[in-house]
């Protein structure tokens, strides 16, 4: 189990690494981040987007999932609403079974 502060640190490290050489200033949003049963949902933005009001000045997905069991931090899948994805994870339905 990890604390919210540990989740924020893990999320920042993941986002920074995943953006590679893109020149964004990452701003973590702890007040918009929250706990679920199996993970922390951590929201972030870029200072460039905040300053300009332009949502295109940063990645399209601005939330990461930090599992409490130490599994890899990751972006949620974009085709699903976040709550649906998290509900599926909590019910053990993710990843979905493939049709045969």
Annotate 29-60 with three-state secondary structure.
Answer: CHHHCEECCCEEEEEEEEHHHHHHCCCCCCCC
Domain total of the chain: 1
Indicate the DSSP class of residue 67.
Answer: E
Q: What are 55-88's pLDDT values in tens digits?
A: 999 999 999 999 999 999 999 999 999 999 999 9
**The pLDDT of residue 100:** 40
**The pLDDT of residue 20:** 85
**The pLDDT of residue 99:** 52
Q: Which domain holds residue 80?
A: 4-90
Residue 31 lies in a domain: yes
Residue 59 lies in a domain: yes
- Beta bridge partner(s), residue 26: 46
Residue 27 and residue 58 in contact, taking contact as beta carbons nearer than 8 Å: no
Residue 99 lies in a domain: no
């Amino acid at each position: 189990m990890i604390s919210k502060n540990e989740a924020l640190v893990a999320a920042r490290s993941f986002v920074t690494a995943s953006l590679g050489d893109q020149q964004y200033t990452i701003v973590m949003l702890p007040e918009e981040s929250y706990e679920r049963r199996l993970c922390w949902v951590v929201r972030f933005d870029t200072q460039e987007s905040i300053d300009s009001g332009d949502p295109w000045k940063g990645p399209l997905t601005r939330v990461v999932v930090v599992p409490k069991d130490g599994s890899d931090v990751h972006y949620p899948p974009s085709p699903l609403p976040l709550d649906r994805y998290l509900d599926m994870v909590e019910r053990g339905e993710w990843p979905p079974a493939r049709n045969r």
